Structure 1
Amino acid sequence: MIRAIALCLALAPAAATIAHAQTDVVRGEFRSGWQTASGTHMAALHLQLAPNWKTYWRAPGDAGIPPHFDWTGSENVGSVRFHWPAPDVFRTNGMKTVGYHDQLVLPIEVTPRDPRKPVRLMASIDLGVCKDICVPATLLLGTALPAPGRNDNTINAALKARPSTGTEAGLTRISCTLEPIRDGMRITARMELPAQGRDEVVIFESGISDVWVSESQVRRDGRKLTAVADMVPPSGRPFALNRSEVVLTVIGGNGRAVEVKGCPAD
């Protein structure tokens, strides 16, 4: 995260980096949501950004700052699951980053530790917000999650904005080739998938938190989409990659994206 912040700030004039207070560019709150039929609770983080400012997706690109959530102080929270809406791709100074502009409603599904007791969310959220410059921000937010709560159209809209599954998007085949390189692994994915837009971007996630993943090289030939990226661990050596943990997201723009979990061998 420190590397990403330093890179973002390096892209901007030094005198401009202190021109904006955090509250000028981003405000946030939790939407308390409702209990689901399975006993979890559907809440959401709602970020409001100043015009033309953006924040980042979970895999933000080489110059982006991924959000980090610290749930210390929460009460009766067993686990949380994020339901990320389809992101957009931004091109700045020749670099691609991935995220959201104007606002982000991020649904958060909370599983209580004890379903008989009330739930309260408390979070310290570190994120980056960028326009011509990047500003690291920290939000301290909290809310009770009432039972049963009430339906929230804003959260429902964000849930509907998720990426399509491979099946929904017409994916008929996917395979991955893994090749050791000097400082890690090279992954080549081959998919038979209808085009999702004119300038498709493919994001690889390794399933390992400290592995750096390069921007992918993408080529399309009809229904065949090929993407290649390098994965580099802290050790700087080839490593074992669990294919079932790999996630590929094909982003086509205009809210179109496809998320595929797992990448088997040929």
Structure 2
Amino acid sequence: MMIALGAAKGLAFLHNAERPVIYRDFKTSNILLDSDYTAKLSDFGLAKAGPQGDETHVSTRVMGTYGYAAPEYVMTGHLTARSDVYSFGVVLLELLTGRKSVDKTRPSKEQSLVDWARTKLNDKRKMLQIIDPRLENQYSIRAAQKACSLAYYCLSQNPKARPLMSDVVETLEPLQCNNGATEEKSSLLSDGPIGGLGRTARDYRLHNKYGGAVRPPAGCRSPNPNCSPGGGPTACRVR
């Protein structure tokens, strides 16, 4: 979740600039990590100045990466900041499931990660079935549900139904802490600087590139000033 939050802050910064910028090619391979696993965006080669004034979108040639591009952008070439939100939803889904956005080695119905997972994300009985089994159930069910719900809204077919990246940041910040809930399994967000769900990216996607073991932090590393170890989780801001 630490990686997801860092990447979300990067996109929010671009979208909220005086002259908004649309990243256009947000994907896992464009997220770089420093020695503390702090996420930084890279490769702005496809970035595009966003709409201004009364403009609702930017019309451009469709470019990007299959599996991450928003459906309305692929079909019409109409680019908005919500196109980046969809791509973020795909990356968040990769972190949650430990799967690739497109995997031709899987059965036909599971090759597209979004198509396979979308219907499960909004069903509390099914959403936990898609969580990476390599986590061995060592995570907070409540936090997992909030992360799945966030991914569901980011991946909405209707761009207007997707949250702003600033809303995504506000939703992810409380998930950086151990919620201290005794009725749940051990928190997936307190086992390291990325922790729990976020460890999917570290252990199975980026660990080989950066190498080395990462020791657990002494306490909560969330930038949220209202966040403290043992405090209850804030309600998801995305409806």
User: What TM-score does the superposition give when structure 2 sets the normalisation length?
Assistant: 0.31
Larger Cα Rg: Structure 1 or Structure 2?
A: 1
User: What TM-score does the superposition give when structure 1 sets the normalisation length?
Assistant: 0.28
More relative contact order in 1 or in 2 (CA 8 Å, sep 6+)? 2
Q: Which structure's residues are more often strand, by fraction?
A: 1
Q: Which structure's residues are more often helix, by fraction?
A: 2
